[in-house]
Structure 1
């Protein structure tokens, strides 16, 4: 089974594509020739041949389905575990019934375990499949030399694929670390620009405002001059406000900061706030995106909901992050389709996520944001 390297070839996102997986495992399936040969040659005949053929077909279909299942070799999904259990039952059961070359089936099974489970659990699977090979060999009277060879293959293939899985995980962690470093570098640059913008333009505009005020007091005898100076002061003040708003935009707040701000704002509005956060840490773009959603949702609660209680819940796993903001207010009116929520919806959809708004189950209003962890870069810009 020299298909280990082929099996680990990844796509553009680091996840092995299904075509590459299928191409890789096709090399290992040559060992299926021996059980098939026993059926074709008549060594297994009659009713046993029918059951053997059926078992082999079910095993191959289950094995391929496990390899190609969406969660395989990444995050184990419900279907991956169910298919893995079926593959194990068919593989071990067939080796116990037919013996001989059928003892190779647990070797295929141990590969799946070692690619889908962490090392500690994978070592148990190696021991289990090794016991299955030895036990099946003893029960069916298989040649001890063949049992020894297949037992060694169980151990060596198991160790090989534990290493393959660890290599994949390390490569993924490296990609995540590189992405985080790039995000931090971009954040530092944004903060530098914001600081320079505030220091340069902010100081200059403040000075213009002060000079305009002074000139206005010196020109009190000329209404026309006072009007012109008043215009200069007004424009300078507006420009100063816009600069500060731009600086605030560059200094993107984090989820933790927005949650703290939401607590304070709701408390000031006499709204009891309950905040719950659970799950894995959020990547940078997703953290900023949900922070904006928290700010927008909290603002709408304060302005439109007339609520006395608000619950903010953030949950995340390796695939998705979910934000729920539920209040006990009116649940109707401009809160439902405000321009802020419309803009939030557009930005969340650009990230591949969904926004749900509507009445809460127990009265009030609910805002739910569901975003995949792999947020597209354009959504965070």
Structure 2
């Protein structure tokens, strides 16, 4: 029985390893012993032996060249098509000329078709080789049983190597998909870090700028408060450094309570009076962190753009959703653009199934964040004003 090793077209990449293909060929060509034995034993003699030996050597050379020709699975080059055509003609011609053991040559072509061609062409080529073996066996009056076995081997080996080719292509596509997933994950992580750093540094640097301006004015007037403001600047800068490090390493948890405290300090330094209202049960961890980010971004925009004298932050929690409202009496259109801060906040809230609306009102600007929740239990409700 004719057998060809699956290593014939082995490799680990999209373009299979030629060394592995060569090793596979060396195993598969062992089964060319059938036509070789006809020459060696004298069954084929004289001029027939000379022509047969030369033709067999040419077939082996062309077969190796075809297998090793540059290509990807299922995507032959023009050179591969030419080599396939010449090798097929030579193999079928030798089988017609000498019959017997030479009927094994079309089997090798069925293997090449199964591995090198696209599915439709592979099926056509394998069936054509099976038909060729059957017709040649009848014309040469070869043993019907042996001919039937050879036809069976052409079909089964052709189908087998079509399956091997398809498996290899699936492996290649899977690796490409994994690489794409890794690339997208890295891109998303870079975007997340950039967004987080913008939110962190935008707030902290705005506070540093305000306190620096205040410290400068106090220093010019000789006030002792300048030293305290400078110490506050140092404290804020150190805290910002810690937050940046924690954000990059992914360990920082941004709580609403901490952000409200930071908002009060920042707004007071900017000369803005802050009122905070909390209503409803305690927030779950995910919503607490998300609304903390929203407070940071909203307050940063108030400090940078609004020039407000009053700001109100209201957080409410009911059975269906948590809502954050930040309203100021500053310039209503100052933050009406799509800055990267509000864009980043909107992306986070939408990912949690919530909505963000921001826009001017007759006496200032309002940021409204609503995030739904379901099936969570909370501690007893608290109400109060800070």
In the alignment, what sits opposite 2:20?
20
Given that 1:72 and 1:80 are in contact with CA atoms closer than 8 Å, whether structure 2 keeps it comes out as no
In the alignment, what sits opposite 1:62?
62
Deviation at 1:128, TM superposition (A): 0.8
Q: What is the TM-score of this pair, normalised by structure 1?
A: 0.54
Question: Once the two structures are superposed, what CA deviation does each residue of 1:131-174 show, in whole Å capped at 9, x if it has no partner?
Answer: 11112122222221221111001110011001100110111111
Q: 1:131 to 1:5 in 2, by over 3 A?
A: closer
Give the whole-Å Cα distance in 2 for the aligned partners of 1:60 and 1:10. Answer: 22
Give unpaired runs (5+ residues) of structure 2: 238-243, 249-386
- Matches for 1:321-340 after TM superposition, within 5 Å: none
Give the whole-Å Cα distance in 1 for the aligned partners of 2:206 and 2:145. Answer: 89
Secondary structure at the residue paired with 2:16? Answer: coil
In the alignment, what sits opposite 2:280?
none
In the alignment, what sits opposite 1:177?
177
Give the whole-Å Cα distance in 1 for the aligned partners of 2:202 and 2:146. Answer: 82
Given that 2:114 and 2:162 are in contact with CA atoms closer than 8 Å, whether structure 1 keeps it comes out as yes
Q: 1:145 to 1:75 in 2, by over 3 A?
A: same
Give the whole-Å Cα distance in 1 for the aligned partners of 2:94 and 2:15. Answer: 32
Give the whole-Å Cα distance in 2 for the aligned partners of 1:89 and 1:9. Answer: 26
Given that 1:3 and 1:27 are in contact with CA atoms closer than 8 Å, whether structure 2 keeps it comes out as yes
Q: 1:73 to 1:127 in 2, by over 3 A?
A: same
Deviation at 1:102, TM superposition (A): 0.8
Deviation at 1:3, TM superposition (A): 4.2
Deviation at 1:19, TM superposition (A): 2.0
Given that 1:110 and 1:129 are in contact with CA atoms closer than 8 Å, whether structure 2 keeps it comes out as yes
In the alignment, what sits opposite 2:137?
137
Give the whole-Å Cα distance in 2 for the aligned partners of 1:62 and 1:109. Answer: 11
Give the whole-Å Cα distance in 2 for the aligned partners of 1:67 and 1:52. Answer: 22
Given that 1:92 and 1:106 are in contact with CA atoms closer than 8 Å, whether structure 2 keeps it comes out as yes
Secondary structure at the residue paired with 1:42? Answer: coil
- Matches for 1:1-381 after TM superposition, within 5 Å: 1-11=2-12, 13=13, 15-71=15-71, 73=73, 75-216=75-216
Given that 1:15 and 1:74 are in contact with CA atoms closer than 8 Å, whether structure 2 keeps it comes out as no
Q: 1:186 to 1:81 in 2, by over 3 A?
A: same
Give the whole-Å Cα distance in 1 for the aligned partners of 2:139 and 2:201. Answer: 86
Question: Once the two structures are superposed, what CA deviation does each residue of 1:262-298 show, in whole Å capped at 9, x if it has no partner?
Answer: xxxxxxxxxxxxxxxxxxxxxxxxxxxxxxxxxxxxx
Given that 2:22 and 2:68 are in contact with CA atoms closer than 8 Å, whether structure 1 keeps it comes out as yes
Give the whole-Å Cα distance in 2 for the aligned partners of 1:168 and 1:71. Answer: 14
Given that 1:62 and 1:83 are in contact with CA atoms closer than 8 Å, whether structure 2 keeps it comes out as yes
Give the whole-Å Cα distance in 2 for the aligned partners of 1:188 and 1:100. Answer: 64
Q: 1:55 to 1:2 in 2, by over 3 A?
A: closer
**Count, aligned residues:** 231
In the alignment, what sits opposite 2:343?
none
Q: What is the TM-score of this pair, normalised by structure 2?
A: 0.54
Alpha-carbon RMSD across the aligned residues, in angstroms, is 3.0
Deviation at 1:209, TM superposition (A): 2.6
Give the whole-Å Cα distance in 1 for the aligned partners of 2:102 and 2:46. Answer: 17
Q: 1:51 to 1:72 in 2, by over 3 A?
A: farther
Give the whole-Å Cα distance in 1 for the aligned partners of 2:204 and 2:4. Answer: 67
Question: Once the two structures are superposed, what CA deviation does each residue of 1:61-113 show, in whole Å capped at 9, x if it has no partner?
Answer: 00011112221646422322221111111111111111111111110001001
Deviation at 1:7, TM superposition (A): 3.1
In the alignment, what sits opposite 1:320?
none
Given that 1:66 and 1:72 are in contact with CA atoms closer than 8 Å, whether structure 2 keeps it comes out as no
Deviation at 1:218, TM superposition (A): 5.7
Question: Once the two structures are superposed, what CA deviation does each residue of 1:2-36 show, in whole Å capped at 9, x if it has no partner?
Answer: 4443335424x464322221222222212211111
Larger relative CO (CA 8 A, sep 6+): 1 or 2? 2
- Larger Rg over CA atoms: 2
Given that 2:11 and 2:17 are in contact with CA atoms closer than 8 Å, whether structure 1 keeps it comes out as yes
